[in-house]
Amino acid sequence: MLTNCNQSAEGDDKKSEYKALPASTEFDLVILNGRVIDPETAFDAVRNVGILDGRIALITEESISGKETVDATGKIVAPGFIDTHFHFQTPIGYSLGLRDGLTSSMDFEMGCAGSYIAPWYEARAGVTQANYGVAVSHELARAMFIDGSDGADYLINGPIAAYTTRAKKGWSQTRPNLEQGNAILQEIDKGLQSGAVGVGSTVGYMRAGVSSREMFEVQKVGARYGRATGAHTRYTLGNDTEENNGAQELIANAVALGAPANVEHFNNPGWRLAHEMIIRLQEQGHNIWGEIYPYAAGSTTINAEFLRPEIWIDKMGKRYEDTMLDPVTNEYYTLETYKATVASEPTRPIVIFKMPADDEWKWLTLKGVTMGSDAVGATPYLAPWDFPMDSLGGTHPRTAGSRGATIRLGREHKIPMMQLMSILSYNAAKHLGDTGLKFMQERGRIQTGMVADIVVFDPETFRDNSTYDKGAVPSTGMKAVIVNGQVTVRDDVLLPVFAGQPIRFEPQDKPRFEPISVESWNATFSTGMPSDFSGGVPVPDLDHPESDKH
Ligand SMILES: [Zn+2]
């Protein structure tokens, strides 16, 4: 088996036109004597890797040399880690990610408002250490056209904007009228036209406001570009039936539309069924995948709909005293302090315990999943890249340690390294590459011709250090993190190297938006019917009928 794989990894790769360079080449960088792991070809052997002009130029048993050397003896040499669920898209956020082996970070859930996609990318060009990408935001489009939250100063920050926009309520609870609904969809289309990696939806925070029709139409906007919609699905957090019903909505829409979809953090009640549906659909050729992260607790803002006492206590049978932790003060909430904080500081971040700790490692064994960290902010959110990490505010430990935790848990539970490298890098690259994203077709692999995003780490010691008490402590045991051929972390030290590239589709000349109307629906799906029916368009807000006059 290894013989076949060796050939594939060492230059016979049919997908690549790239010809491996001779061992006599003077490389820019060489990584010597490491255990090279390529999840796509299942290659796993000790080799030397030569890098030239930002690409993997040779993988060989011969001795090679270059201007710079990383001694990888006893270390794993694997594709740089890729995360489709990284909200902390700021200089210090990328710093924490890089210490944890993250070379490509995307926010596929909250995302960035459509009109701000282009400036979001421009703001990071040439000054960012990891590769960066963002989906266009469903929630922020609703905040703009329902709540009037349209401040350029916060919307430019993408996911961080939610700490501002979530202080209002319409984005979550109000059904748009037809005019607002079309404005929301058009805003999403704008972001895709500007090259966003896909559509991000937090429908689970907008259960009352987003009709099933709206969710379908949002995914349809993405489908016109062939891009994935990622979602915090409708009933997360919910029980083991509701959770799967939420995943089923996203998945069924995707199948009906022929569109890709990413079922986010399904490591919740009912996860085995969600996973089985995803795998069966993959076997039928659908580009649908799922994310997990290895923590029993989640994190969100305290005003999240599913944490209201009617749901959290009455329906889910939980107590704030056991489940809701303030990561800054390290104190658990009570019903009284919960109510007081929702009133005084509605977007305060909290940590919420929801699953048995013994499930954490089991999620890492699932076939074909991706590890999406759901890294959230730590204050000060907009700190510079070299801000002292021990001065950062409290946050969920997944922000700094998801990849270290994955490898530590894998070590403790004897999960094969090939599986861990697949879920940390290749699987996300594969599914995103299959949506046409060229950037991801040439990453997530250690093969000649691929872009040199590489991690070199000690399989015995690399680990997370972040905890629920202290969430922003960086991981350790990383020999080197290489971004686009540049050594950016060496021996657990982050260097002043800014080689990050945009993860983005080519901006398009024309929009693809098509406004929805009863008339066009009838013309397409009916042989003729009166226009007074419901279910074809967003339902008017019956609590505010005046908002429907347009
Ligand atoms: Zn989420």
pLDDT digits (tens, 9 = 90+) for 325-360: 998 899 999 999 999 999 999 999 999 998 999 999
Cα–Cα dist 433/197, whole Å: 11
| Residue 88 alpha carbon to ligand 1 centre in Å | 13
| Residue 186 alpha carbon to ligand 1 centre in Å | 24
Give bridge partners of residue 32 from the DSSP assignment.
71
pTM: 0.92
| Strand pairing category for 288-292 and 261-263 | parallel
| Residue 110 alpha carbon to ligand 1 centre in Å | 8
Asked whether 424 and 76 are in contact (CB, 8 A), the reply is no
| Residue 479 alpha carbon to ligand 1 centre in Å | 31
Residue 7: predicted pLDDT: 40
Of the listed ranges 9-23, 149-163, 268-282, 432-446, the one predicted with least confidence: 9-23
**Closest Cα partner for 121 from 442, 358, 111?**
111
| Residue 230 alpha carbon to ligand 1 centre in Å | 10
Cα–Cα dist 397/394, whole Å: 9
Q: Is pLDDT of 361 > 80?
A: yes
| Residue 109 alpha carbon to ligand 1 centre in Å | 7
Helix (H, G, I), strand (E, B) or coil at 187: helix
Residue 359 is classified by DSSP as G
Q: Angle at the Cα of 169 (from 93 to 145), degrees rounded to 5?
A: 85
The H or E element spanning position 80 is none
Q: Kindly list the distances between the CA atom of residue 335 and the CA atoms of 331, 343, 453, 549, in Å, as whole numbers in the listed order.
A: 13, 13, 47, 40
| Residue 364 alpha carbon to ligand 1 centre in Å | 18
Residue 519: predicted pLDDT: 87
Q: How many CB atoms lie within 10 A of CB 215?
A: 21
| Residue 87 alpha carbon to ligand 1 centre in Å | 10
Q: Kindly list the distances between the CA atom of residue 480 and the CA atoms of 258, 392, 449, 492, 522, in Å, as whole numbers in the listed order.
A: 40, 24, 20, 7, 59
Residue 457: predicted pLDDT: 98
Cα–Cα dist 462/302, whole Å: 33
Contacts of 268 (CB under 8 A, 6+ apart): 236, 237, 238, 243, 354, 355
Tell me which range, 2-16, 159-173, 496-510, is most confidently predicted by mean pLDDT: 496-510
Q: Is pLDDT of 14 > 60?
A: no
Cα–Cα dist 481/489, whole Å: 5
Residue 13: predicted pLDDT: 44
Residue 537: predicted pLDDT: 57
Residue 1: predicted pLDDT: 33
**Closest Cα partner for 116 from 87, 144, 82?**
144
| Residue 79 alpha carbon to ligand 1 centre in Å | 26
Residue 516 is classified by DSSP as -
Asked whether 199 and 192 are in contact (CB, 8 A), the reply is yes
- The pLDDT-based confidence of 550 (bands split at 50, 70, 90) is very low
| pLDDT average, residue stretch 54-74 | 98
| Residue 264 alpha carbon to ligand 1 centre in Å | 7
CA count, 13 A, side-chain hemisphere, 353: 16
Q: Kindly list the distances between the CA atom of residue 158 and the CA atoms of 249, 312, 350, 398, in Å, as whole numbers in the listed order.
A: 25, 29, 20, 20
DSSP-derived secondary structure for 449-463: TSB--EEEE-TTT-B
| pLDDT average, residue stretch 508-518 | 95
| pLDDT average, residue stretch 35-49 | 98
| Residue 141 alpha carbon to ligand 1 centre in Å | 17
Helix (H, G, I), strand (E, B) or coil at 289: strand
Question: Which regions of 122-212 does DSSP assign to beta strands (E)?
Answer: 131-137, 199-201
| Residue 499 alpha carbon to ligand 1 centre in Å | 29
**Closest Cα partner for 274 from 325, 236, 326?**
236
| Residue 328 alpha carbon to ligand 1 centre in Å | 20
DSSP H helices, 207-269, are 212-223, 242-257
Contacts of 312 (CB under 8 A, 6+ apart): 306, 318, 320, 323
| Residue 55 alpha carbon to ligand 1 centre in Å | 34
Asked whether 306 and 208 are in contact (CB, 8 A), the reply is no
Residue 85: predicted pLDDT: 98
| Residue 287 alpha carbon to ligand 1 centre in Å | 21
* φ, ψ at 124 (rounded to 5°): -100, -10
Q: Kindly list the distances between the CA atom of residue 464 and the CA atoms of 398, 400, 468, in Å, as whole numbers in the listed order.
A: 9, 8, 12
Residue 394: predicted pLDDT: 87
Residue 143: predicted pLDDT: 98
Q: Kindly list the distances between the CA atom of residue 348 and the CA atoms of 208, 340, 343, in Å, as whole numbers in the listed order.
A: 22, 12, 11
Of the listed ranges 160-164, 297-301, 539-543, 544-548, the one predicted with least confidence: 544-548
Percent of the chain with pLDDT over 70: 93
Q: Is pLDDT of 12 > 50?
A: no
Mean pLDDT taken over the chain: 93
Contacts of 365 (CB under 8 A, 6+ apart): 413, 415, 419
Q: Which one has a higher pLDDT value, 212 or 525?
A: 212
| pLDDT average, residue stretch 272-279 | 98
| pLDDT average, residue stretch 60-76 | 98
Asked whether 457 and 101 are in contact (CB, 8 A), the reply is yes
| Residue 285 alpha carbon to ligand 1 centre in Å | 26
Residue 259 token pair: 């569109």
